[in-house]
Amino acid sequence: MFDMTDVVGELWVDDWQQTPVGFAKFIGSYGSCPAVPGRPSEWGSVVEKAIKKFDYTAEHGIDWWLYPVNGKHHRNIVYGAEIRMSPELYKHLSPQMYTRARPPPPFRLGVIGVTSKMTSETDNLFAQLLLFQ
């Protein structure tokens, strides 16, 4: 089940699209029966609280905008909101997006210094290391 923390979580995922006037992102659902938490037209207060945690001077209508989206695209129903940010706000928030959305990668074993002359012994070692990743 969705709740408003999912909307805030999606806000910090770093898959924003660059537009000529800034950056944009669609948060929502599409398909034959899309489901989102609450009404996208009412997400403004939740998004504003999330943004103001990191940039208190960011203002709705000046630095970021929220546009509810609902309609049909081909045979799918689209329901959600498009959030747009100015380039300045995106530049300020992008480190937060990366650190909050991407956990550190797990420790991986690797082979250091593998040469082009691999023997059957190094082939076996390499295969074992690949199995443990």
CA distance linking residue 30 with residue 91, whole number of Å: 29
pLDDT digits (tens, 9 = 90+) for 44-92: 888 898 888 888 888 999 999 999 988 888 888 888 899 999 999 988 8
Strands (E), 1-133: 17-19, 22-31, 64-73, 76-85
What pLDDT sits at residue 76? 86
7: pLDDT confidence band, cut at 50, 70 and 90? Answer: confident
What pLDDT sits at residue 30? 82
Q: Which residue has the tokens 């398909």?
A: 31
Indicate whether 109 pLDDT > 50.
Answer: no
Phi and psi at residue 130, in whole multiples of 5°? -65, -35
Beta carbons of 11 and 52 less than 8 angstroms apart: no
CA distance linking residue 64 with residue 38, whole number of Å: 20
The identity of residue 4, as a single letter, is: M
